[in-house]
Amino acid sequence: MSLRLGDLAPNFQAKTTVGDIDFYEYIDGSWAVLYSHPSDYTPVCTTELGRTAKLKSEFDQRNVKVLALSVDSVEDHHEWIKDINDTQQTEVNFPIIADEDKHIAELYDMIHPNASATATVRSVFVIGPDKKVKLTLTYPASTGRNFQEILRVIDSLQLTDQYQVATPADWKDGEDVIVVPAVKTEEIPAKFPKGYTEIRPYLRTTPQPNK
C-alpha cells in the first residue's frame, strides 16, 4: 500500500555509502528527503545526484538530511560516485542507500509495475522531524527532478508547520502568505502584527511572519 501524507514513514536498516544506518537514528531531530533512482550509471540520475551535492548548504540551512536510494550495491555506488563527481564537478556528500533486495523500494512503494516491473521510479519523500510523510512526488524515469521546487516546498512546509498560514501558488520564500481560514479576522492583528490585506473574507494575506 502506498504511503499517504501524514503517514508514519517506515523505519529501515540499510547499507549505504557512508556505512550501515538505521533510518530513524540517522534523521533524528531533522527533516529528511529520501529519493529513489532506477539504477546506477543512469544519465539523469547522475545529474540529479550531482545537483543534490551542490545544494548541500541549502539543505543544511533547512536542517534537512538527504538520502538517495538505488537497487545496486554499495560497491557499485562508490564507483558511480567517481563518475558523478567527475562529470558534475562536485563531491557527493550524502548517503546513497544500497537496496539490492528492493526491501526499501517495496516498503515505500517506489516500484510502479506499469512503468517498470523492476526499476524504481523517481520517488521523492519529504519527512518531518516527527517521522511523518509531509510530501510525496513521483516523476517518470525519463524526467529529472526540479530541486529548486523541492527546496521551495520544504520552505513552505517548515513555515506552515510553525505558523497558521498557507502559501499561495508559485510562492517563494520571502513573499506574502495566506492566513488560514481557521484564524478569525479579528484575531489577525495579534497573531500577525505586520498587518494584513483582506482580498475576500476567506482570502487574507500577510507578510511572511518569520522574515
**Band of residue 2 on the pLDDT scale cut at 50, 70, 90:** confident
Catalytic annotation on 45?
A: yes
What does the alpha-carbon distance between residue 199 and residue 36 come to, in Å, rounded to a whole number? Answer: 42
Task: Give the chain's end-to-end CA distance (angstroms, integer).
Answer: 40
The predicted model gives 11-27 an average pLDDT of: 98
Residues of the chain within CATH 3.30.1020.10 domain(s) are 163-206
Residues of the chain within CATH 3.40.30.10 domain(s) are 13-145
CB-based contacts of 46-50 (< 8 A; 24+ apart in sequence) = 46/80, 46/83, 46/84, 46/87, 46/88, 47/88, 47/144, 48/144, 48/145, 48/147, 49/81, 49/84, 49/88, 49/92, 49/96, 50/84, 50/85, 50/87, 50/88, 50/89, 50/90, 50/92
CATH number of this structure's domain 13-145, picked from the four choices 3.90.76.10, 3.40.50.970, 3.40.30.10, 3.90.340.10: 3.40.30.10
pTM exceeds 0.75, yes or no: yes
DSSP structural state of residue 171 = -
Choose the weakest-confidence range: 13-22, 34-43, 142-151, 195-204.
34-43
Dump pLDDT digits (tens) for 29-66. Answer: 999 999 998 889 999 999 999 999 999 999 999 999 99
List CB contacts of 2: < 8 A, sequence separation 6 or more.
Answer: 109
Which residues, listed in sequence order, are joined to residue 165 by a DSSP beta bridge? Answer: 179
Dump pLDDT digits (tens) for 153-179. Answer: 999 999 999 999 999 999 999 999 999
Question: What are 153's three cell numbers?
Answer: 516546498
CATH of segment(s) 163-206: 3.30.1020.10
Q: Chain-wide mean pLDDT for the chain?
A: 93
Main-chain phi, psi angles of 209, to 5 degrees: -70, -20
Q: Which of 27, 34, 45, 81 is catalytic?
A: 45
**Band of residue 22 on the pLDDT scale cut at 50, 70, 90:** very high
Dump pLDDT digits (tens) for 98-156. Answer: 999 999 988 998 876 555 544 556 899 999 999 999 999 988 888 999 999 999 999 99
pLDDT at 117: 46
Longest dimension (CA), the chain: 61
